[in-house]
Structure 1
Amino acid sequence: MPPSPGAHHTPGPQYLVAGRYRLKSRIGGGGMGTVWLARDQLLDRDVAVKQVVSTEGLTEDTADNIRRRAMREGRIAAKLSHRNAIAMHDVALDRGEPWLVMEYLPSRSVAQILHATTTLTPTEAAQIGAQVADAMVEAHAAGIVHRDIKPGNILIAEGGRNAGLVKITDFGISRAKDDVSLTQTGVITGTPAYFAPEVARGAEPSEASDVYSLGATIYTMVEGQPPFGVDDNSIALLHKVARARINPMKNAGELEPVLLRLLEPSPTKRPTMAEARDMLASVAAGTRGTREQVLTGLITRPGAGTPVWAQRSGNRSSTTGGHRPVGAATLLPDSPAGDADRASRDIPQTREAHAPTLMSTPQPYSVRQPYPAPQYSTPRPPAYPDQSQGWVRQARDTATSSTALAVSIFVFFAVLAVLVVLLIALWR
């Protein structure tokens, strides 16, 4: 007898989703579902499939709401076809549960890159921002507001000819302008550290708030922290964002005037996404490039090629959102490494840089106006590794080894000289 819709089942490697997508390994996970690397048996290609949160044990209304949200995410993402956006291929139903089938991109998120490098150069940040803005221009033209632009939702491809390719992902809480079926009055959705001030005050996210979130994300790339800093208390952070007083910039350089425009407190005074794209592209191009080169090129450093953080060696990894890949090999010290074949390893929800995500789905992170006391605390962000310490230790160890070798050689020749003297004395 075939399984009934909604029957409880825990899929694993080799499980065939909807008779077509063969699961290979788990590559990410979080509050909104688990992401698997799978093989499309029909088209013979790798894809990323997102298993929406199980509805097992939920009320019928709640389960139906989750299914409708998954279908909505698929419909919204499918509207967008852009070089710098993860493509949505299919929404598959398996045992009555929806699975989102997306483009597979071996990559690291900007959040993961910042965990290893702390900051990026203004030129790199400007080019990444310009390409994301280019994709969002098309999204806004299609009536889509992303609502959660942040470092964890921007991917940089690793390895091969695509190394350095930028893509925006995770339209899980996006909404089309004409979609009012899932509106919940007074609910804030997104990540507080990257909210626009008007959103922190309870206003509905808009194209202008996407511009602000992009500005906050680029600010984080060059400064190492979001515009309003880090706070364990999400409610306190919301109040900081609502007051719209950003911390002074120290590393932005020529990018600072553009960031101040994107982080304008008043949404009516902010540039459009198209204007933001053009300003960022101008900074990234400098005096040696063109707007088209910035928007279509891979992320590179002048005279140095692809940055180390965009390169790959060894095992393959992939993300399709703010998820840590299994065993992401890297060329940087003190960053995660491992074996990509450990498919059975349990992947915890990745901590987004500096703040939790507040979701309007049945999560403990939902926040309603006026702001209630939170029932949880945000863990402190992990300290970025001090790469120089590893290099200092390495230099110290090298110097010690060289000294020991020199002493050993000296002792050897001293003993040899004594033996020669003794042999000469005996000979006589």
Structure 2
Amino acid sequence: MQPMSTTRDGYRTPGPQYLVAGRYRLRSRIGGGGMGTVWLARDQLFDRDVAVKQVISTEGLSDETADNVRKRAMREGRIAAKLAHRNAIAMHDVALDSGEPWLVMEYLPSRSVAQILHATGTLGVQQAAQIGAQVADAMAEAHTAGIVHRDIKPGNILITTTGRNAGLVKITDFGISRAKDDVSLTKAGVITGTPAYFAPEVARGAEPGEASDVYSLGATVYTIVEGQPPFGVDDDSLVLLHKVARAQINPMTKSGALAPVLLRLLEPSPAKRPSMAQARDLLARVAAGDRGSTHQVLTSPLTTSDGGVPLWVQRTPRPTRTTSTGTHLPVGGPGPSNPARPAPPPRASRPQAPAGAAESSESSPATLVSGPRATSGSTTSPTTLALSILAAVAVLAAVVILVIALVS
């Protein structure tokens, strides 16, 4: 019998070990998108791990609405399948299980940029520029194919954590994307996406286009380097929408050489913004700096300024049972200070571990020493000192006894 779980409303949903469409064995939940839950699954036919997105169930929906959900899922798969780029998650299949659509995608051990920022607060200018450049490279090809993403944000950008491509950037979740020649399946006047990364014209009700993708990318890179979106954060979506519609971004304080590029990407007028290909080139030049090449920026994994692999990309040791890390991989190493959380206690410095290596959880003896360190050979242990005194006393006693014997 297929493993199932039951919701409060009595609706039965697939759980771990459920076999989707007779082929994809569910293993564990790894995330969620605007349309449904994402599972890690095993493709029984090709014997490989895949990411399977469970689209919102059509149970209890009217025939018209259910058909609309299925069409939307098929459309997402069809749109994503058009894009084959190293910086975009690949779409493998659209499977129907008991009439319910499932999207089957490339599985990538990774962390989202949103997760990374939650741990580090911000990233450096060159790293932020390289992330933006690689996303722009994929999206430039998507725009050429007539695909508009409509929801570029930190949560939809993944950074690989394992293998020789650790540090590679991938854009994912084309769930609300559309092709230019596709019939829209959303109701007129309904805005879909994430308000904090909207372009001003979208916040005012205009249809998203290629220029709004460029703006969303600019807002994402701004967030990576500044630590918050261009218009700040607000729990009230309507208040945030009004801020976005006015197109008055908060001043930049950490962007450095990226600031002029971000101002171009965040241009209020969509007609004056650069194309996605131009945005890619602008970002790549900042990431390359004076010594690198833009080709290397676009084709190489993220690295530190000295050429090493960032600690937050490396796979870290498995935590002990007493440490709760949630459902995501822990991020290694302390990041820039974040006012939202107390700073970690200082640690003794040591060399950065190579990519893929597990950092020992035990401190070296040098890190356990407190106070001034003694010079080798300059101190004597208490035990040795005590034995020396006893020996001296014994010799003195023997001499005294010998003297008394001679005198008597």
TM-score by length of 1: 0.77
SS at match of 2:13: coil
Provide closer, same or farther for how the CA distance between residues 258 and 325 of structure 1 changes in structure 2, counting only shifts above 3 A.
farther
Q: CA RMSD in A?
A: 3.1
Aligned-pair distance for 1:215?
0.3
Q: Take 1:425 and 1:392, find their aligned partners in 2: how far apart are those partners?
A: 52
Tell me if 1:213 matches 2:181: no
- Larger RCO, structure (CA 8 Å, separation 6 or more): 1
Alpha-carbon contact 1:27-1:325 (below 8 Å) kept:
no
Aligned-pair distance for 1:216?
0.4
- Which position in structure 2 is the counterpart of 1:374? none
TM-score by length of 2: 0.81
1:407-418 equivalences in 2 (<5 Å): none
Give the one of 96, 108, 123 matched to 2:126.
Answer: 123
Aligned-pair distance for 1:119?
1.0
Gaps of 5+ in 2: 3-9, 320-324, 350-362, 375-379, 401-408
Aligned-pair distance for 1:178?
2.1
SS at match of 2:159: strand
Alpha-carbon contact 1:116-1:332 (below 8 Å) kept:
no
Provide closer, same or farther for how the CA distance between residues 413 and 153 of structure 1 changes in structure 2, counting only shifts above 3 A.
same
- Which position in structure 1 is the counterpart of 2:110? 107
Q: Which moved more, 1:148-157 or 1:299-308?
A: 299-308
SS at match of 2:345: helix
Deviation by residue 1:246-290 (Cα, 9 ceiling, x = unmatched): 111111111111000000011111011111111111111122222
Q: Take 2:245 and 2:269, find their aligned partners in 1: how far apart are those partners?
A: 11
Give the one of 166, 172, 175 matched to 2:178.
Answer: 175
Give the one of 374, 384, 390 matched to 2:345.
Answer: 390
Provide closer, same or farther for how the CA distance between residues 273 and 400 of structure 1 changes in structure 2, counting only shifts above 3 A.
closer
Alpha-carbon contact 2:153-2:220 (below 8 Å) kept:
yes
Provide closer, same or farther for how the CA distance between residues 202 and 415 of structure 1 changes in structure 2, counting only shifts above 3 A.
farther
Deviation by residue 1:110-154 (Cα, 9 ceiling, x = unmatched): 111111111111111111111100111111111111110000000
Tell me if 1:48 matches 2:48: no
- Which position in structure 1 is the counterpart of 2:271? 268
- Which position in structure 2 is the counterpart of 1:144? 147
Tell me which amino acid in the other structure corresponds to 1:163: A
Alpha-carbon contact 2:34-2:175 (below 8 Å) kept:
no
Gaps of 5+ in 1: 317-323, 335-381
Tell me if 1:402 matches 2:403: no
Q: Take 1:211 and 1:86, find their aligned partners in 2: how far apart are those partners?
A: 19
Alpha-carbon contact 2:334-2:344 (below 8 Å) kept:
no
Q: Take 1:148 and 1:129, find their aligned partners in 2: how far apart are those partners?
A: 14
Provide closer, same or farther for how the CA distance between residues 203 and 53 of structure 1 changes in structure 2, counting only shifts above 3 A.
same
Q: Take 1:201 and 1:411, find their aligned partners in 2: how far apart are those partners?
A: 79
1:5-154 equivalences in 2 (<5 Å): 9-29=12-32, 32-154=35-157
Q: Take 1:67 and 1:315, find their aligned partners in 2: how far apart are those partners?
A: 40
Q: Take 1:64 and 1:421, find their aligned partners in 2: how far apart are those partners?
A: 99
- Which position in structure 1 is the counterpart of 2:352? none
Provide closer, same or farther for how the CA distance between residues 170 and 250 of structure 1 changes in structure 2, counting only shifts above 3 A.
same
Say how many residue pairs are matched.
366
- Which position in structure 1 is the counterpart of 2:355? none
Deviation by residue 1:144-170 (Cα, 9 ceiling, x = unmatched): 111100000001101110101111000
1:345-356 equivalences in 2 (<5 Å): none
Structure possessing the higher radius of gyration over alpha carbons:
2
Q: Take 1:256 and 1:59, find their aligned partners in 2: how far apart are those partners?
A: 50
